[in-house]
Structure 1
Amino acid sequence: MKMSSISGRSLTAIGLSVMTAVGVVNPASANTPTTGHLAAAQEIVTQLDTIGWPAESAYNQYNSLTGGTVTWGTPGQPTTYNNNSQCAPFVTQSVQHAYSWARGSGSGSFFYTYFNANSPTSASWYYGLKYGKRTGPSTWIDVPHFETVNSAREILPGDVLAIQYGTGTGSPTGHTAIIESSEVWDDTSPTTTVFRVKVLDSTSNPHGLAPAGDTRSVGYTEYNGAGSGYMLLYADKASGAFTGSKWGVNEGGGSYYPNVETSAGRPFIVSHVTD
């Protein structure tokens, strides 16, 4: 059963002034969620998509060897944009493109200070958002500009989704994406609600074949790089707490993974980005 949804493009346009039942700002939050990084990711995906596949592959591809780079160009001139990145660097560089507090490199930079790397892996994104920065044997501090989303009903456009694969020691270590929208996808279970979230990411494996809605899928042909697609997040019906996820809606790689920190799980966290 489908219910209300909230769109990142419309929310960006109205400046977070209107909310729906699916996305409600936690009234206890001291900071305001912001969507500049979402707009940055939307811009490069939209501009590159005007080229069209397969020609787009010359400017948009998944970097399987290193973290890679993302280059923003001039709107209306799509070939001035370039994506050659993995998932975590795509999100990191979208955040850096949007906010001055996230820029820089070296020991004094934001990401090096709080994630122990200028370009953190997906596992590092997950650990930092979940536990914060370790400052002692048993002490941690929260990462500023990020606030944990504890209920699937509180997902907002621009939230960062950070997934760790198993224990986070394999390759890849996980997946990182920016959520553009969220809607209730299946509410028929007495205990679980399934949310379909539209994500922006850079991946070698699009989130489903057409007509699943991934911009990197053309018929039965899948391309790699930056784009948008749909993932499924599972939540406890009573509390809204996240219980699991699926990579896509209609593909072979769409197995269910529990939100647990075991070798068989894919634990994840959703966080608002704040100003």
Structure 2
Amino acid sequence: MTEPQFSRRRLLAGAAGTAGAAALAGTVGATGAAAATVPAPSPYALKLPHQIEAEALIDNLRLRPWDQNANRYKTAGEFEDVYTSVRWGTAGHPEEFYNLAQCSSFITLALQRAYGTQPTVPAGTPMPWGGYSYGWATREYFQQYFIKDPANTNPYPTAEKYQQAFLDPGSLPHFTRVTKPVNLRPGDLVALDYHPDEDGSKPYTGHIVMIRERKGTWTDAVVDAKLGRPVVPYVFEIIDCTSDPHGNPANGGTATELYRAFPDTRIEEIPTTAGTSAWKEHDGVGYGHMVFYADADTKLFAGYRWSLNSTVPRSVAERPISAGRVWLTDAI
């Protein structure tokens, strides 16, 4: 009996490593298909505990209808008498999950859930916490290393405080700094400081996001040129809590096509009887896409764009950017 050309025995035998790869490439070529058509390797990226917890919250909330108001952004001035609340429920019960937070409080609570102190519960009772029990991401930790002001009783550092703290990782336990967009990994935190050009219309100090995946580069020559220097525009899928979803599909034409390629989970597409689509924006936690610019020469952060079809790039001179990575081995 003739052995099949792609038998499991042949692939697992002595043809391991480069020899096996060469044999496979030769076989593909023999069938008439070019070896260059084989996709590039796409390994599964590891997810750190805080990303796992953030995604669990978002994925469960996406199962709840928007009209239940289970996922909202704590807009300044609208919830003055309501405390920030982020609740992780039981697996299989999306109705138990809830979010009312801002960008930095959501990130802080995800870190506390993943790396905080395990609560004490009666024997035989399931742990309501994340189960990691590293013990460092406590309220006292964020007060000491991010807020740095005993008079400030807010338990959540602002995005501005995150941006400043990431600049000096040597004095920031459990984090290391990331200086170049090309080096960003899933779970990294990128903080923006709005204060240099904030007009006061929205009382927010900045914004902070968590990296979910790098999607490559996307050049818009007209928009990118507004930064006034050569840049490389890296596209990232991000995790955040925002009042302003990333993208504007309502303009139609190529704007809608571009948005569909890089969507945001907080923008709801509603089919109409005319066969077109209406778009409804929501807020809260979710997934979206942003552009982070690298200087073409230094590779350092040069700016950002809120979405792929945004026409307003922001430079680091206008809005400083810094990024931090949880150093998990230091947290164990």
TM-score, normalization: structure 2?
A: 0.64
SS class of match (1:12): coil
Task: For 1:99 and 1:6, locate their aligned partners in 2 and report how far apart those are by CA, in whole Å.
Answer: 29
Q: Distance in 1 between matches of 2:327 and 2:308?
A: 30
Distance 1:234 1:6 in 2: 23
Three-state SS of the structure 2 residue aligned to 1:215 is: coil
Deviation at residue 183 of structure 1 after TM alignment: 2.8
Partner in structure 2 of residue 257 of structure 1: 314
Superimposed CA distance per residue, residues 220-268 of structure 1 (whole angstroms, 9 cap, x where no aligned partner):
21101110100110102233111010111125xx5111012xxxx1111
Which structure dedicates a bigger proportion of its chain to strand?
1
* Correspondence list, 1:63-82, <5 A: 63-65=74-76, 68-82=84-98
Unaligned 5+ residue runs, structure 1? 14-34, 133-140
- CA apart distance, 1:150: 1.6
Q: Following superposition of structure 1 onto structure 2, how do residues 1-275 of structure 1 map, counting pairs within 5 Å?
A: 10-12=44-46, 35-52=48-65, 54-55=66-67, 57-65=68-76, 68-100=84-116, 101-105=135-139, 109-116=140-147, 118-131=155-168, 142-167=171-196, 171-186=203-218, 191-210=230-249, 211=260, 212-219=262-269, 220-251=279-310, 254-260=311-317, 265-275=318-328
Shift of 1:209: 3.3
Tell me the SS of whatever aligns to 1:11: coil
The answer to whether the Cα contact below 8 Å between 1:111 and 1:120 also exists between their aligned partners in 2 is yes
Q: Which amino acid aligns with 1:36?
A: P
State the Cα distance separating 1:5 from its structure 2 match.
Answer: 9.8
For the Cα contact (< 8 Å) 1:114–1:128, is it kept in 2? yes
Residues 238, 131 of structure 1: alpha-carbon distance in 2 compared, 3 angstrom cutoff? same
Q: Deviations over 1:98-145 (max 9, x none)?
A: 01334433xxx110110125310111111111246xxxxxxxx52111
Moved more, 43-52 or 206-215: 206-215
Q: Structure 1 188/232 Cα, relative in aligned 2: closer, same or farther at 3 Å?
A: closer
How far does residue 59 in structure 1 lie from its aligned partner after superposition? 0.7
Instruction: Give the C-alpha shift of residue 191 in structure 1.
Output: 3.1
How far has the Cα of 1:184 moved from its partner? Answer: 2.3
Distance 1:273 1:186 in 2: 28
Identity level (%): 27
- Could you list the per-position Cα deviations for residues 62-107 of structure 1 after superposition, in whole angstroms to 9, with x for gaps in the alignment? 01146712111112211100000000000000011101334433xx
Q: CA RMSD in A?
A: 2.6
Change (3 A) 1:121 1:188: closer
SS of the residue corresponding to residue 37 of structure 1 reads helix
The worse-fitting range, judged by mean Cα deviation, of 87-96 and 63-72 is 63-72
Shift of 1:198: 1.1
More helix by proportion, 1 or 2? 2
Unpaired runs of 5+ residues, structure 2, are 1-38, 117-134, 148-153, 222-228, 250-259, 270-278
1:6 is displaced (CA, Å) by: 7.3
Contact kept, 8 Å, 1:163 with 1:174, in 2: the verdict is yes
Distance in 2 (CA, whole Å) between partners of 1:157 and 1:111 is 22
Structure 1 runs (4+) deviating above 4 angstroms are 3-7, 187-190
Rounded to whole Å, the distance in 1 between the matches of 2:214 and 2:74 is: 28
Counterpart contact for 1:182–1:197, Cα < 8 Å: yes
CA distance in 1, matches of 2:97, 2:159: 24
Q: Indicate conservation of the 8 Å contact 2:232/2:295, yes or no.
A: yes
Per-residue CA deviations over 1:13-55 (Å, capped at 9, x if unaligned) read 6xxxxxxxxxxxxxxxxxxxxx111111111001110124x33
